[in-house]
Amino acid sequence: MKEKYEVCSNLKKILDERNKSIRWLAAEAGLKFETVRRLYNDDTKQYQRETIAAVCIALNIELSELLEIRKAENE
């Protein structure tokens, strides 16, 4: 059986390391709180390019720092 992979968000780790809140990032990036909360909790099903770009710019990080591909846990 072919292995499955998923895109995962590292936003929780990044914000926690920087002692920044979801609310702070939402304001800084010009995004809705709920959008950032879903990304923080890794509950996002589809990533909007504009959202990812706004988060990366607000945090001054590369895309590869925010998102990574991992082997799916539930196969």
What number does CATH give the domain 5-71?
Answer: 1.10.260.40
* Residue 73 banded pLDDT, cuts 50, 70, 90: confident
Nearest CA among 33, 41, 54, 35 for reference residue 13? 41
- Calculate helix-pair angle for 49-59, 22-29, nearest 10 degrees: 110
Whole-angstrom distance, CA of residue 66 vs CA of residue 37: 14
Residue 75: predicted pLDDT: 52
- Which tens digits make up the pLDDT trace of 4-54? 999 999 999 999 999 999 999 999 999 999 999 999 999 998 999 999 999
